[in-house]
Structure 1
Amino acid sequence: MKVLMFGWEFPPHISGGLGTACYGLTKGLAQQGVEVLFVMPKAEGDEDSSIGKIINASDVEMPRTTSYVDDFWQNVSFLPVSSGLIPYLGLEEYEQYVTETENGGGQRSFTHLGGKFPFSGKYGANLMEEVRNYAYIASKIARENDFDVIHAHDWLTYLAGIVAKKISGKPLVVHVHATEFDRSGENVNRVVYELERMGMEQADAVIAVSNLTRNIVINRYGIDKSRVFAVHNAVDFSGRKEIEVKKAVKEKVITFLGRITYQKGPEYFIEAASKVLKRYPNVRFVMAGSGDMMNKMVQRVAKLRIGSKFSFTGFLTGDDVNQMYAQSDVYVMPSVSEPFGISPLEAMRTGVPVIISNQSGVAEVLEHAMKVNFWDIDALADAMYGLLAYPTLTNTLKVRGTDEVNSLSWDDSAVRVKEVYEKMLADSNLG
């Protein structure tokens, strides 16, 4: 079986859990005899190509003919442009398009006729333009490669997956690692929401990383539950070096590691830290990461007068992340809405007891972790204090947690995903 897979990032160049999950699943599928063609916007050349073929979208030469562009638009003519969807136009371009169309003079166009597209592969201001261009290049990749199934990871690649399906006629699975409701609460970006919903509706199957996410897909996006499958993430520890720990500080260390955004609940971590320090002063709190709430969190720490007991490291990658886990005595993930959450698994593998929110997918698979509701600051503070003050509790979670996380395998997740592929192929043959 051969899978054309669309992703936005792939190790070692990642900015979050999405790239890590793509790598783990690709590696697991290779163990199941599935050949993966992994398409990403910008490859650096140091990605692990031993588990699948990496296709660098930035290297794809597009035809310099208007007929090719016209054919592309025919294949995406299903797009409900009037609904406010902006997959192929920037915000200003879309407004201009609507105005011109309402005046009777508008006509969809694609200004870049050919050549290569210089993708950044990042999440910058021109992200929507890159999403559009990525889908355009997917039309050529789908024509030139043989495959049985299309697999698109998260909303950034759903358009590419839809275009590949329209051109090839092959079944499409979209993989939901997070939804706009996870990222933004009820203040959703309507453009992103519409892209997510369209991808799920056009897909033959939807894979969600947890039952929590599966329920969101069904209830908030209106997708038939018979087409939505929950497949939990895992974590890959192969090749990871054991780190020699030289404690940088004498205090106990409680760590928050992740994007400093609404979704991750950093404010609850800080409020609970303030309560813990009144009962257990010999502790240092570390917030590792970056995000749009960084300045607000720094200001809140200053206002609570706990700055001498608080450290902000900025964004960490690679060995620095592993070293941070090794320095930690407790790891906390107080996410408001976490589709899964790989970081607690990584912390547990390092022998660090973890506290996670009940509003996380990983809570579905972990027994030996302390779980609290993200909004319950008192319960979160009590859990932190308990792991600092009671060594027996801490040691129990360390030992049993390490055993538990070592039993979670991407091979098992890959088996489930392959079963979804096989079901789609069987259903398409029946059709």
Structure 2
Amino acid sequence: MKALMFGWEFPPHILGGLGTASYGLTKGMAECGDIDITFVIPKPYGDEDKTFAHIIGAANTPVAWRDVSWDYVQQRYGYCMDPQEYFDLRSHIYADFNYLKTNDLGCIEFSGRYPDNLMEEINNYSIVAGVIARTVQFDVIHSHDWLTYPAGIHAKQVSGKPLVIHVHATDFDRSRGNVNPTVYNIERDGMLHADHIITVSNLTRQTVIEKYHIDPAKVTTVHNAVEPLSDEIKSIEVPHSPKEKVVTFLGRITMQKGPEYFVEAAARVLKKTNGVRFVMAGSGDMMNKMILLSAQRNISDRFHFTGFLRGKQVYEMLKASDVYVMPSVSEPFGISPLEAMQVGVPSIISKQSGCAEILTNVIKTDYWDIDAMADAIYSIITYPAIYKQLREEGEREVNEIKWKYAGQKVIDIYHKVMHN
């Protein structure tokens, strides 16, 4: 079976959980065997792991004819693609796109991020999808998150092949209900055109059914999982101070993630004990507000902001922690608690998160209940028996949550839509 996947992020160049989940799922599907995956991303860097998927960059796909030599393509794009693929793609340009801003190879530039002209990039990505869908052989289309739904729809219209969309989040999650109508319409259009919809949790599934008015029979939950730790990550050793505990929030500092509840809970814990430091690791539009809030609560001397962490830095931070807290207001899934549990860090998560559906050996509180959150933090850092149980049982539990199992569920969905 051949799958054509559209994504927006792919490790090692990721900006959030979408890239991590796309990578883990694709790799897990490959482990199941009998699947050939072509993964399209806006901008390739050449250092992506290509052992289990063929990577095509939208930024390297010509949409306007340019008379260029093999050697020139090799010189410009050889770091990330075989020049022959460029010429194969060029032969399937389906319209005159010279009105678009293209480079000397007839390709549209993509930022590979979430720029101010994001809607323009989403539209350009769907144009490129038409060239790719006419060139690549595939049996099923899989679009990850709303940014790639228009590309998936175009590929379906071109090929007549079934479309599966993967809802990693909805705008109801990202905006705390203050939904952007343009984004909502893109999301719903993708859902209406899809032959089947995958959601990362039952929480998200209910949102799709109730807020987007989709037939429940068309929506299946496939929970996310976590990558096994590499030897490099396992070998990281971070010293712990016997005098001070470390409590960590790690993620985007945005209203969806509930950072203010973490700060308020920290202030309550620090009224009981001074032997603890709180860390907010990440970046986002609420960072300055959180710095100000920690100052207003008079806890700045016990509160630290690291900025954005990636790759190995994430695990260094987690291994330095005694407690991990994810107080998300609306979290479709939330992979970070699983990553914390992998390295033996007891975790506290909000009941409003998708991962709460599959995790047992964690403490769950309502995101708004800062007293319960503070009590949970205090209990873990104060009572060794609670810490030990959550650490050991959590690690044992998370090691059984594997991407291969999620991958097989997705492959089963592919078979279902292909047979229909």
Same fold by TM (over 0.5)? yes
Deviations 1:323-376 (A, max 9, x none): 000000000000000000000000000000000000000000000000000011
Q: How does 1:97-136 map to 2 (within 5 A)?
A: 111-112=99-100, 115-136=106-127
Given that 1:174 and 1:199 are in contact with CA atoms closer than 8 Å, whether structure 2 keeps it comes out as yes
What SS is found at the alignment partner of 2:272?
Answer: coil
1:103 equivalent in structure 2: none
1:192 Cα deviation (Å)? 0.8
Pairing 1:256–2:249 present: yes
1:368 equivalent in structure 2: 361
Separation in structure 1 between the aligned mates of residue 191 and residue 22 of structure 2, nearest angstrom: 19
Q: Pick from 326, 330, 337: which aligns with 2:330?
A: 337
1:221 equivalent in structure 2: 212
Pairing 1:301–2:280 present: no
2:81 equivalent in structure 1: none
The residue identity in structure 2 corresponding to 1:49 is: K
Given that 2:64 and 2:93 are in contact with CA atoms closer than 8 Å, whether structure 1 keeps it comes out as no
The residue identity in structure 1 corresponding to 2:46 is: G
Deviations 1:160-208 (A, max 9, x none): 0000000000000000001000000121111111111110111000000
Deviations 1:15-54 (A, max 9, x none): 1111011111111111122111000000100000001100
Q: How does 1:31-430 map to 2 (within 5 A)?
A: 31-33=31-33, 34-64=35-65, 111-112=99-100, 115-241=106-232, 242=234, 243-247=236-240, 250-427=243-420
The residue identity in structure 1 corresponding to 2:53 is: G
Pairing 1:28–2:28 present: yes
Separation in structure 1 between the aligned mates of residue 231 and residue 408 of structure 2, nearest angstrom: 24
Q: Which runs of 5+ in 1 are unaligned?
A: 74-108
Separation in structure 1 between the aligned mates of residue 25 and residue 19 of structure 2, nearest angstrom: 10
Separation in structure 1 between the aligned mates of residue 365 and residue 231 of structure 2, nearest angstrom: 30
Given that 1:181 and 1:188 are in contact with CA atoms closer than 8 Å, whether structure 2 keeps it comes out as yes
Deviations 1:55-76 (A, max 9, x none): 01111111349xx999669xxx
Identity among equivalent positions (%) equals 57
Given that 1:254 and 1:330 are in contact with CA atoms closer than 8 Å, whether structure 2 keeps it comes out as yes
Over aligned residues, Cα RMSD in angstroms?
A: 1.8
The residue identity in structure 1 corresponding to 2:149 is: Y
Separation in structure 2 between the aligned mates of residue 240 and residue 264 of structure 1, nearest angstrom: 30
2:79 equivalent in structure 1: none
What SS is found at the alignment partner of 1:229?
Answer: strand
The residue identity in structure 2 corresponding to 1:316 is: L
Q: 1:187 to 1:377 in 2, by over 3 A?
A: same
Separation in structure 2 between the aligned mates of residue 196 and residue 280 of structure 1, nearest angstrom: 47
Given that 2:63 and 2:93 are in contact with CA atoms closer than 8 Å, whether structure 1 keeps it comes out as no
Given that 1:173 and 1:204 are in contact with CA atoms closer than 8 Å, whether structure 2 keeps it comes out as yes
Given that 1:331 and 1:347 are in contact with CA atoms closer than 8 Å, whether structure 2 keeps it comes out as yes
Separation in structure 1 between the aligned mates of residue 143 and residue 29 of structure 2, nearest angstrom: 15
What SS is found at the alignment partner of 1:311?
Answer: strand
Q: Which runs of 5+ in 2 are unaligned?
A: 67-90
Q: How does the TM-score come out when normalised to structure 1?
A: 0.88
Separation in structure 2 between the aligned mates of residue 368 and residue 344 of structure 1, nearest angstrom: 11
Deviations 1:371-427 (A, max 9, x none): 000011111111111111111011000000000000000000001001110100011
Given that 2:341 and 2:391 are in contact with CA atoms closer than 8 Å, whether structure 1 keeps it comes out as yes
Q: Which moved more, 1:253-262 or 1:189-198?
A: 189-198
Q: 1:43 to 1:219 in 2, by over 3 A?
A: same
Q: 1:221 to 1:69 in 2, by over 3 A?
A: farther
What SS is found at the alignment partner of 1:278?
Answer: helix
The residue identity in structure 2 corresponding to 1:328 is: S
